[in-house]
């Protein structure tokens, strides 16, 4: 695609950093799905199962190969893929279709699409992104049935990887020394491209739309993972300026990493709690590595995925202990299970809903799925007792006071059970809630009396406040957490909590955004929880901020009418401090 003027595409920040280079479209080989009627369904089922078995064997070998390269996190992805192929509901659905006269390839891919579509309906981005994994596994098995490779083209020179929405299979064979960064048409901050980029320390911008797929191989692009922007065919002046900025940013990042293990403090010397968001045992060490002073959001959904039944209490205790031991004498905030809505995980048999984002999810599942939460509370309390960690438990999707009281009552009931059984457990546990529903933010004065802390989830709070689906590329640009309406809700939440001597954290993407740091500090936020990779950067920014000046900035931005004005004000503020975004 040739441009007279450099073209700029705006996407989603997935991994920080800057990179420039030529594009390489890692294109998917087209696989035709035959569709015809069959009569001998036993032979057809066997043909499908043979392909499934080959896929499993292939995934075992890939996992071993990846493990040999000391890439444990990526290796676990392929183990999860193998477990998808053991899913009884998936296999049974395909078999049923074959018995009704559909050929194996069509029956298999129909079953794959059925479960992938259900997964996409999950409100939680991390879980919704599993749809891509299901389709990836589906293509692998389809390739075996067709007798062709389902792989993608390889790299020949250092390149910016371009794709629709990269899967683990797309990237496992890439020469990592030739990858400069990732840009994709679809995906979100928890997509595989984002995870891989963060692991490699490379920039990534996702959700750029179809335009990025029109780029010819070898097109020069500038990738800004900090701003979520990609510039196509830059002119000489723009290229020179970007490279200079890239060099300066590299120096700043090295400084930030070097000072990552020092405490989070402002220029005034005030302590700021800077902690990590983690999604399981495997990525827990990344927080410590990057200087996090604890965990502000421990997502527990990983325990319920890629398996055939609910995790046992013992399995949960083991997983929680493994994470808690990585953060001795540090606060760890655990979010209870946050899935629901569509029939997303077969063994849970959840009811299908027209709008799962507004449905039976989070704390609302206490009414009807209480046993799941009983087991989770018991496991968390025991793991806390075993490790002595500073355990803090919060429940998501709270919209009113009765939900808080029900959850607290259940937790206290589990304490009483464990006490009567003589099992050691954490007696002193802080109990909090996620503020992600506007009603909770507006009722913060009442809710603060019921809890020990609030944790603001700006991703969902923004979506619900502005009535914008963040996954819809046509309106996603409207979902900016720096919208003054969202900032006013954050202010009310913090003010009401502080009036009751409660602390407030923020665990949305906003916490790891340098542009937001002075605003959140000025609002009085106590805890900043972010992707581990962002911790050194935010600590570096904090060292240059004075609370009084940040409070003055807040007065200005709260009076604005749109997020663009807020961004402009904060950018100017940071530039005066020598922080160039």
72-103 tens-digit pLDDT: 666 777 888 888 998 899 999 999 999 999 99
pLDDT at 58 over 50: yes
Q: Using CA atoms in the order 290, 292, 293, 295, what is the torsion angle rounded to 10 degrees?
A: -140
| 520/77: higher pLDDT | 520
pLDDT at 344 over 60: no
**pLDDT > 70: percent of the chain:** 90
**How confident is the prediction for the chain on average, in pLDDT?**
88
C-alpha distances in angstroms, 420 versus 322, 416, 425?
26, 6, 11
Residues 186, 135: Cα–Cα separation, whole Å: 14
pLDDT at 156 over 50: yes
Lowest-confidence segment of 3-17, 19-33, 127-141, 309-323 by average pLDDT: 3-17
Confidence of residue 423 (pLDDT cuts 50, 70, 90): very high
The Cβ of residue 424 has, within 10 Å, a number of other Cβ atoms equal to: 12
Answer yes or no: are the C-beta atoms of 207 and 473 closer than 8 Å: yes
Confidence of residue 581 (pLDDT cuts 50, 70, 90): low
pLDDT at 226 over 50: yes
Across-strand partners of 527? 273, 505
pLDDT at 4 over 60: no
The reported pLDDT for the residue numbered 69 is: 59
Tokens matching residue 121: 């309906």
Residues 266, 274: Cα–Cα separation, whole Å: 11
- Residue 455 three-state SS: strand
* CA of residue 188 relative to chain centroid, distance: 8
| 576/202: higher pLDDT | 576
**Locate tokens 């199962």: which residue?**
49
The 8-class DSSP code of residue 142 comes to: H
Q: Rounded to the nearest 5°, which phi and psi values hold at 568? A: -60, -45
pLDDT at 2 over 50: no
Residues 378, 391: Cα–Cα separation, whole Å: 13
Tokens matching residue 231: 């510039």
pLDDT at 495 over 80: yes
For 114, half-sphere exposure in the C-beta direction (CA atoms, 13 angstrom radius) is: 17
Tokens matching residue 194: 């984002």
Nearest Cα neighbor of 87 from 138, 44, 45, 126 is: 138
Across-strand partners of 181? 160
- Which residues, in sequence order, are CB contacts of 567 under 8 Å at separation 6+? 482, 515
Max mean pLDDT range (132-141, 198-207, 556-565):
556-565
Q: Where in the chain is the domain with CATH 3.20.20.60?
A: 266-576
What number is the average pLDDT over the span 359-376? 86
Q: Per-residue pLDDT tens for 522-562?
A: 999 999 999 888 899 999 999 999 999 999 999 999 999 99
- CATH number for 7-28+152-234: choose from 3.40.30.10, 3.40.50.150, 3.90.10.10, 3.50.30.10: 3.50.30.10
Residues 60, 74: Cα–Cα separation, whole Å: 13
- What angle is formed at CA 81 by the lines to CA 77 and CA 86, rounded to 5 degrees? 145
**Locate tokens 């993608």: which residue?**
152
What number is the average pLDDT over the span 497-505? 98
What class has domain 266-576? alpha beta
The reported pLDDT for the residue numbered 175 is: 78
The 8-class DSSP code of residue 28 comes to: B
The reported pLDDT for the residue numbered 396 is: 95
The 8-class DSSP code of residue 276 comes to: E
* CA of residue 361 relative to chain centroid, distance: 18
The reported pLDDT for the residue numbered 42 is: 93
Residues 82, 63: Cα–Cα separation, whole Å: 10
Residues 115, 104: Cα–Cα separation, whole Å: 17
Q: What's the CATH architecture for 41-146?
A: Orthogonal Bundle (1.10)
Q: Where in the chain is the domain with CATH 3.50.30.10?
A: 7-28+152-234
Q: Rounded to the nearest 5°, which phi and psi values hold at 35? A: -140, 110
Which residues are part of the catalytic machinery?
192, 507
Strands (E), 372-470: 390-395, 430-435, 453-456
Exposure letters 398-422 (e unless 16+ CB within 10 A, then b): bbeeebbebbbebbeebbeebeeee
The reported pLDDT for the residue numbered 341 is: 44
| 329/369: higher pLDDT | 329
The 8-class DSSP code of residue 154 comes to: P
The 8-class DSSP code of residue 153 comes to: P
Confidence of residue 199 (pLDDT cuts 50, 70, 90): low
pLDDT at 388 over 50: yes
The reported pLDDT for the residue numbered 149 is: 67
The reported pLDDT for the residue numbered 202 is: 85
Answer yes or no: are the C-beta atoms of 339 and 304 closer than 8 Å: yes
Q: Positive or negative, the Cα torsion across 173, 174, 177, 182?
A: negative
Confidence of residue 258 (pLDDT cuts 50, 70, 90): confident
pLDDT at 275 over 50: yes
pLDDT at 137 over 80: yes
Tokens matching residue 332: 């760890």
| 455/1: higher pLDDT | 455
The reported pLDDT for the residue numbered 342 is: 38
Q: Where in the chain is the domain with CATH 1.10.274.10?
A: 41-146
What's this model's pTM, rounded to 2 decimal places?
0.75
The Cβ of residue 352 has, within 10 Å, a number of other Cβ atoms equal to: 12
| 565/472: higher pLDDT | 565
């Amino acid at each position: 695609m040739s441009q007279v003027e450099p073209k700029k595409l705006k996407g989603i920040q997935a991994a920080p950093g800057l990179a420039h280079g030529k594009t390489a479209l890692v294109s998917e080989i087209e696989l035709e799905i035959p569709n015809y009627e069959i009569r001998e369904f036993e032979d057809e089922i066997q043909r499908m199962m043979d392909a499934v078995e080959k896929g499993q064997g292939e995934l075992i070998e890939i996992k071993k190969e990846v493990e040999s390269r000391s890439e444990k996190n990526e290796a676990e992805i392929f183990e999860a893929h193998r477990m998808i192929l053991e899913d009884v509901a998936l296999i049974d659905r395909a078999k049923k279709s074959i018995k009704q006269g559909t050929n194996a390839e069509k029956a298999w891919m129909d079953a794959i699409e059925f479960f992938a579509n259900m997964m996409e309906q999950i409100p939680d981005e991390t879980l919704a992104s599993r749809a891509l994994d299901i389709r990836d596994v589906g293509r692998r098995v389809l390739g075996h049935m067709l007798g062709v490779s389902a792989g993608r083209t390889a790299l020949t020179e250092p390149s910016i990887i371009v794709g629709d929405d990269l899967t683990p299979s797309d990237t496992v064979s890439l020469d990592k020394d030739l990858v400069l960064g990732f840009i994709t048409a679809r995906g979100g901050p928890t997509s595989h491209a984002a995870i891989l980029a963060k692991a490699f320390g490379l920039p990534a911008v996702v959700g750029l739309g179809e335009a990025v797929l029109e780029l010819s191989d070898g097109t020069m692009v500038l990738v800004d993972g900090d701003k979520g922007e990609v510039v196509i065919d830059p002119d000489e002046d723009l290229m020179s300026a970007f490279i200079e900025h890239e060099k300066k940013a590299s120096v700043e990042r090295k400084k930030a990493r070097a000072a990552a293990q020092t405490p989070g403090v402002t220029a005034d010397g005030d302590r700021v709690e800077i902690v990590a968001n983690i999604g399981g045992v495997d990525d827990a060490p990344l927080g410590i590595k990057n200087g996090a002073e604890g965990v502000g959001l421990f997502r527990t959904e990983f325990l319920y995925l890629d398996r055939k039944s609910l995790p046992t209490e013992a399995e949960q205790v083991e997983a929680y202990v493994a994470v808690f031991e990585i953060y001795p004498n540090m606060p760890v905030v655990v979010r209870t299970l946050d899935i629901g809505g569509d029939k997303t995980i077969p063994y849970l048999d959840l009811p299908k809903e027209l709008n799962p984002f507004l449905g039976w999810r989070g704390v609302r599942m206490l009414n009807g799925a209480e046993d799941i939460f009983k087991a989770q509370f018991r496991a968390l309390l025991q793991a806390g007792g075993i490790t002595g960690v500073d355990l803090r438990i919060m429940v998501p999707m709270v919209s009113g006071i009765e939900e808080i009281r029900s959850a607290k009552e259940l937790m206290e009931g589990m304490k009483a059970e464990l006490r009567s059984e003589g099992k050691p457990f954490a007696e002193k546990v802080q109990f909090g809630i996620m503020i992600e529903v506007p009603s909770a933010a507006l009722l913060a004065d009442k809710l603060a009396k019921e809890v020990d802390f609030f944790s603001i989830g700006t991703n969902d709070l923004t979506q619900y406040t502005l009535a914008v689906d963040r996954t819809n590329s046509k309106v996603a640009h409207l979902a900016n957490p720096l919208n003054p309406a969202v900032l006013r809700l954050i202010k009310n939440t913090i003010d009401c909590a502080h009036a009751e001597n409660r602390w407030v954290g923020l665990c949305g993407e906003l916490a790891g955004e340098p542009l937001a740091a002075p605003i959140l500090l000025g609002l009085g936020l106590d805890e900043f929880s972010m992707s581990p990779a962002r911790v050194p950067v935010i600590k570096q920014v904090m060292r240059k901020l004075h609370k009084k000046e940040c409070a003055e900035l807040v007065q200005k931005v709260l009076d604005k009418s749109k997020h663009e004005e807020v961004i402009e004000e904060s950018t100017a503020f940071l530039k005066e401090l020598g922080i160039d975004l």
